[in-house]
Chain A
């Protein structure tokens, strides 16, 4: 690849990078991220198919297809698409179907890590990091939350795009074949288990004013339970709700029953603030 086309491609990749922040604007139920993906491909397609209107039409339509992925991994896939579009433009025997096939094959496994690692695990770790400052009314809390979440997310975007473009489809093809993705996803869920286990006693609050015994000898139920194991009630609440979810009780009904149970409990004085 010549020097000048390298510089030109770098500019295109920068434009693409910025578009990955705004590509979510057009998310909706039918194409999901598809329209936004095409939007993010526009700078590259304009550079690759400059002056070839027919190829441009075909490429735009190709990227308007249904697509969805955890946002931070979109740049990685975009990088491979750009590399493959370049190959498509330069060599006649390249099959353009491969471009969308790669996109589709990456969609599931990458979203699986993205959703469990970033949207769930990493987000709640950042929340855990910032929440006590927030509870004290300190402005550093929300700032730390945003920085802790977004600095790694932005690095993954940036290098994802670069790696996707440089390595092209072959690397990602192998990534989806081997169990690397599964392995990362497993490790992330282990970290998630640690953090959730720690957050339940720190952040779930269930109190009861009930007392056992009479008169001077009355002992509060909470302190009795604490001698068996502290934070038993928060753990119990989580397990009960988890069991309801496993029984496929609808989320709305669980929410309604939590509200009803809490208000009833406060009214009948077996729950307190």
Chain B
């Protein structure tokens, strides 16, 4: 149990490596955290399946600009942990993952607001003193330790203490609530897609959405096929724009010709 707690901590740390190690390499997503957690618990294939279900449930959760809408690492790791330990799958993953990840997010935001200014101040001081190496170390280690280590510890604690109670807790939840949570996991992707649509939707591109929907609904084209279809349509648009708007294309070419000033 102790060893497993350490390993869960390492998985979570790797997940937060999203920010400090992989340059937003999407390792924090449940689709990656689920399998790794499953591996630690000795049930890889369930981990992969739960990871997939949670990935869809959280598909609209994306950090753009300055927003941190949800802590993906704890939602994925703890969701998978309790899905496997209770044997209840997705409903347990959401029942435990949602509230616990909100708690972790709270702690993270506290660190961001209350503790981070301290190491930023330190970095400012090192900049003023002209100390690039000290600034580098403070930026990397200060950021990594203050931003992410508290969350990793919280996840390890939730794993260590939660494991023994989780079965009793889930047994106390009525069956229709558990089934309801499975229904939730089916509807949540709609929430995700609605959020993505809100980001990119403009009136004139709605037809493309309709075409994508119809291709899959009536012709059963898989997602990747629709993506390739979409790419072809964009290529057509590009070539026709080039052909029928010679002025625009020329002025862009002109720009390209004299870029080499350095």
Binding site for B on A (CB under 8 A): 20-32, 35-36, 38-39, 42, 45-46, 53-54, 56-57, 60-61, 64, 68, 70-72, 83, 87, 111, 115-116, 119-121, 123-132, 134-139, 141-142, 145-146, 149-150, 153, 157, 166-168, 170-171, 174, 178, 180, 186-187, 189-207, 229-231, 234-235, 237-239, 241-242, 244-246, 251, 254-255, 258-259, 261-267, 271-273
Interface residues of B in 214-262 (CB under 8 A from A): 214-218, 221-224, 226-227, 229-231, 233-234, 237-238, 251-252, 255, 259-262
Chain A residues near B201 (CB-CB < 8 A): 189, 193, 242
A222 to chain B, nearest CB (A): 13
B184 touches A128 (CB 8 A): no
Interface of A is mostly: helix
B227 touches A195 (CB 8 A): yes
Chain B residues near A131 (CB-CB < 8 A): 31, 52, 55-56, 223
Question: In the complex, which residue of chain A has the Cβ closest to the Cβ of B179?
Answer: A266
A245 touches B62 (CB 8 A): no
A39 touches B186 (CB 8 A): no
B31 touches A254 (CB 8 A): no
B255 touches A42 (CB 8 A): no
A-B contact pairs, 8 of them (CB 8 A): A21-B23, A29-B66, A29-B116, A35-B143, A36-B143, A119-B24, A197-B208, A242-B198
Question: In the complex, which residue of chain B has the Cβ closest to the Cβ of A80?
Answer: B262
Cβ-neighbour of A195 out of B32, B113, B230, B238 (below 8 A): B230
Cβ-neighbour of A24 out of B19, B124, B260 (below 8 A): B19
Binds A, one of B7-15, B40-48, B150-158, B159-167: B40-48
Top 8 closest A-B pairs, CB basis? A197-B212, A205-B186, A26-B143, A263-B180, A194-B230, A128-B223, A134-B52, A25-B143
B55 touches A127 (CB 8 A): yes
Chain A residues near B62 (CB-CB < 8 A): 115, 119-120, 123
Chain B 194-211 interface mask (CB, 8 Å, partner A; 1/0): 111111111001101111
Q: Does B187 contact A (CB under 8 A)?
A: yes
Q: Does B79 contact A (CB under 8 A)?
A: no
A245 with B198: in contact, given A25-B139, A127-B31, A190-B233 (CB under 8 Å)?
A: yes
Chain B residues near A87 (CB-CB < 8 A): 262
Chain A residues near B128 (CB-CB < 8 A): 57, 60-61
B49 touches A137 (CB 8 A): yes
A26 touches B217 (CB 8 A): no
Q: Does B132 contact A (CB under 8 A)?
A: yes
A174–B51 CA distance with the chains assembled, in angstroms = 43
Cβ-neighbour of B223 out of A170, A198, A271 (below 8 A): A198
B199 touches A116 (CB 8 A): yes
Cβ-neighbour of A178 out of B231, B255, B262 (below 8 A): B255
